[in-house]
Structure 1
Amino acid sequence: MKIRKARLDDIPEIGHVFERAILEIGPRFYSRDQLNAWIKRRARLETVLPEVLPYRDGWVAVEADDKPLAYLDLEKDGHIDFFYAHPSVAGTPVTGEMYANLEARALELGISRLSTEASEAARRFFEKRGFQVLRKQDIELGGVMIHNYAMEKQLTPATALA
């Protein structure tokens, strides 16, 4: 497994990773109606990423065939917008390595606070890395209520992952 910068031609496969993560990991935490509403957001992801990827740092984890199995990005203000991992790599060291790259880049950019809106599954990942839950949020997706967590981490060289 290798981690590299994300490219525009990765976007269709990132969309596939998004779907697999929701459909295979999501049922542990969300109802079928919630998953169906969430999965419809793939079109948003595939529309937004071509516009924003050139202006943010994004990484993919790939195997020998160079096909993305995970995607993570960092906006210039320290916000983590997208983080999805195919179930075959979710919870493995590769996602931790991707996050370590993100934190190192944030420090290089002088970012002192990271933030995200984490799903129920991603919440645990971020908490293990020092993020605090600010609040649980109920949001509407296509007429269906679903929740996530507003989270943040104050980032200084002393709090960064080694």
Structure 2
Amino acid sequence: MNDELIIRTAEIEDLATIGFLAQQIWPGTYGSILPAEQLQYMMDLIYSPDSLQQQMTKHKHVFLLAELDEEPVGFASWSPLKEAGVYKLHKLYVHPKTQGKGIGKTLVDFIIDQLPTPEATTLRLNVNRHNKARQFYEKLGFIVTKEEDIDIGHDYYMNDYVMEKKL
């Protein structure tokens, strides 16, 4: 990449930017996978200002913002799980116009570098079973460990693979 990429920890003031990025990224990512009603329901459930603030403050998710030439182009979030040594990658999204530039990999590497060593043993994530991002994660060393269907309300389910990368 010739452009300057900055990865930084997001603050409360950045949550509006993360929500805005999600509105730009999610329709292209999930539009062919999920019905429009479910997509909107999930956007409201996960990316409303109140939900994002709860994730950051109550649930202690660490949010990262990726900026390319000072323009926000992606984000991620992660947190420890109760299972010793296991951390969860909750979100990883890069704007379609900047995909393929290594930003997603850089975000994952940044997270791994932030995890405590030698305590951290596993980075876990969920990915929709029809999302092509599965191949991206496999290239980074994640493997599918199981499938799960998560009830998110209103008769909607997230049909996911659980993937893990040993650290």
What's the TM-score once normalised by structure 2's chain length? 0.76
Alignment-mate amino acid for residue 3 of structure 1:
I
Which ranges in structure 1 are unaligned for 5 or more consecutive residues? 156-162
Which ranges in structure 2 are unaligned for 5 or more consecutive residues? 82-86
What per-residue deviation string (whole Å, max 9, x for no partner) do you get for residues 59-101 of structure 1? 2111334x43211122134111222222223343111111111
Over aligned residue pairs, what C-alpha RMSD do you find? 2.4
Is structure 2 residue 102 aligned with structure 1 residue 98?
no
* Greater strand content: 2
Question: Of the two structures, which has the highest relative contact order with CA contacts closer than 8 Å and spacing of 6 or more?
Answer: 1
Q: Which residue of 1 aligns with 2:139?
A: 128
Is the Cα–Cα contact under 8 Å of residues 10 and 68 in structure 1 kept in the other structure? no
Alignment-mate amino acid for residue 12 of structure 1:
A
Q: Which residue of 2 aligns with 1:12?
A: 16
Q: Which residue of 2 aligns with 1:145?
A: 157
Q: Which residue of 2 aligns with 1:80?
A: 89
Q: Distance in 1 between matches of 2:80 and 2:23?
A: 26
Is the Cα–Cα contact under 8 Å of residues 34 and 146 in structure 1 kept in the other structure? no
Of residues 61, 69, 84 in structure 1, which corresponds to 2:66?
Answer: 61
Q: Which residue of 2 aligns with 1:49?
A: 55
Distance 1:148 1:72, change over 3 A: same
Of residues 33, 37, 52 in structure 1, which corresponds to 2:37?
Answer: 33
What's the TM-score once normalised by structure 1's chain length? 0.78
| Identical counterparts, % of pairs | 20
* Greater helix content: 1
CA drift of 1:52 comes to 4.8
Is structure 2 residue 25 aligned with structure 1 residue 21?
yes
Is the Cα–Cα contact under 8 Å of residues 15 and 45 in structure 1 kept in the other structure? no
Distance 1:58 1:47, change over 3 A: closer
Q: Distance in 1 between matches of 2:116 and 2:145?
A: 22
Is the Cα–Cα contact under 8 Å of residues 63 and 77 in structure 2 kept in the other structure? yes
